[in-house]
Amino acid sequence: MRAQRVSAFALTSAGLEVHAGRVQIARHRHEHAYAALILQGGYEESGSQGRYRVRAGEVLLHRCFDAHLDRFTAAGARILNLLLPADPPLAYGCVADPDTIARLAERDPLAASGALMQQLRALPAAGADWPDLLAQELRREPQLRLSEWAQRHGLAAATLSRGFRKVFAIGPAQFRAEARVQRALALVRHSAVPLARIAAEAGFADQAHMTRALGALTGRCPGHWRRSNGFKTASARD
């Protein structure tokens, strides 16, 4: 496949994208939440929320600061990106009438986003290989021991690292670290749980460790996200 180079923080903007066949877009990260509605063609996306193979009428939804890479099929793809006002409740779904949403987006992208969310129906994940299963467990369990997981599944440590990186473009330890940050960020933004407890629940050594990791991923400290949190309380301040 031909590779396109993409910056670490990719521009997130509403509108149509057209991608040629057999192109791979390197792993990149978006600062804002958005939905990608596939209008034509298909591709495989591997990212923070797992790996999905999508086709026309299906939707991939991305949280703030999610990262992913894309591998396009021979037919390429035509995609409508729509910005979302908040992190979506799911990662993968479909809509009944993508053409109507696309026409609405031409004159009112905000209304098109609302229409997409109203039509959105969750889809089950497709059959998974072991890298997909590992990614699922790393998102659920921030303190998962990779050596124990590899042993349970009859995999050598080198095979685990190499096979996972082939799918997700990062090693499983880095994927686990990013999953911890996303878990912590969600709790800081949407709960009144004290920061020290969030750090422990998300698998960090302590609050200072969480602060550094959040800063590295988002460019802002937990206090910034907590101040924008409508659930904040005196006990939850940093």
The pLDDT profile of the chain, 238 residues, written as one tens digit per residue, is: 444 433 357 888 899 999 999 999 999 999 999 999 999 999 999 999 999 999 999 999 999 999 999 999 999 999 999 999 999 999 999 999 999 999 999 999 999 999 999 999 999 988 789 999 999 999 999 889 999 999 999 999 999 999 999 999 999 999 999 999 999 999 999 999 999 999 999 999 999 999 999 999 999 999 999 997 765 544 444 4
113 lies in the same domain as 150: no
Q: Is 93 helix (H, G, I), strand (E, B) or coil?
A: strand
pTM: 0.91
Query: Are 223 and 189 a contacting pair, CB within 8 Å?
Result: no
Query: Are 192 and 236 a contacting pair, CB within 8 Å?
Result: yes
User: Residue 61 sits in which domain range?
Assistant: 2-122
How many domains does the chain divide into?
2
62 lies in the same domain as 101: yes
187 lies in the same domain as 157: yes
85 lies in the same domain as 18: yes
Long-range contacts of 135-141 (CB under 8 A, 24+ apart): 135/50, 135/51, 135/164, 135/168, 135/175, 136/50, 138/172, 138/175, 138/176, 138/179, 139/49, 139/50, 139/179
Tell me the CB-side half-sphere exposure of residue 222, using CA atoms within 13 A.
Answer: 29
210 lies in the same domain as 161: yes
